[in-house]
Amino acid sequence: MHSFLKFANDNRAGIIRLIQELVECESPSDSLEHVNRFLDLLVERTSDIATAEKIGVSQSGKALKLTFHGGDGDGQVLALGHADTVWPLGTIERMPFRERDGRLWGPGVLDMKAGLAIFISAVRALVATGVRVRRTVCLLVVPDEETGSTYSRCVTEAEARNSLAVLVLEPGTGLEGKLKTSRKGVGHYTVYVEGKAAHAGVDFESGASAVLEAARQVLRLNELTDLGRGLTVNPGVIQGGTRSNVVAAEARIEVDVRVQRLEDAAFIEEQLRDLTALDSRCRVRVEGGLNRPPMERTEGIARLFQTARRIAADIGIDLEESATGGGSDGNFTAALGVPTLDGLGAVGEGAHASNESILIDRIADRVALLAGLVRLL
Binding residues for Zn ion (CB under 5 A): 111-112, 170
Smallest distance from Zn ion to CB 55, Å: 19
Nearer to Zn ion, 159 or 170 (CB): 170
Nearer to Zn ion, 111 or 342 (CB): 111
Dihedral of the CA atoms 368, 136, 185, 362 (nearest 10)? 10
Smallest distance from Zn ion to CB 145, Å: 6
Nearer to Zn ion, 84 or 264 (CB): 84
Pair 122, 66: CB distance under 8 Å = no
Question: What letter would DSSP give residue 172?
Answer: P
Smallest distance from Zn ion to CB 171, Å: 7
Smallest distance from Zn ion to CB 109, Å: 12
Q: By CB neighbour count within 10 A (0-12 exposed, 13-18 middle, 19+ buried), where does 140 fall?
A: buried
Smallest distance from Zn ion to CB 136, Å: 24
Largest CA distance in the chain: 85
CA distance 292 to 296: 12
Q: Which position's Cβ is nearest Zn ion?
A: 111
Smallest distance from Zn ion to CB 170, Å: 5
CA distance 160 to 38: 23
Nearer to Zn ion, 112 or 359 (CB): 112
**Rounded to 5°, angle at Cα 349 from 347 and 354:** 140
Nearer to Zn ion, 240 or 330 (CB): 330
Q: By CB neighbour count within 10 A (0-12 exposed, 13-18 middle, 19+ buried), where does 74 fall?
A: exposed
Nearer to Zn ion, 115 or 339 (CB): 115
Give the contacts of 281 (CB within 8 A, at least 6 positions apart): 195, 196, 208
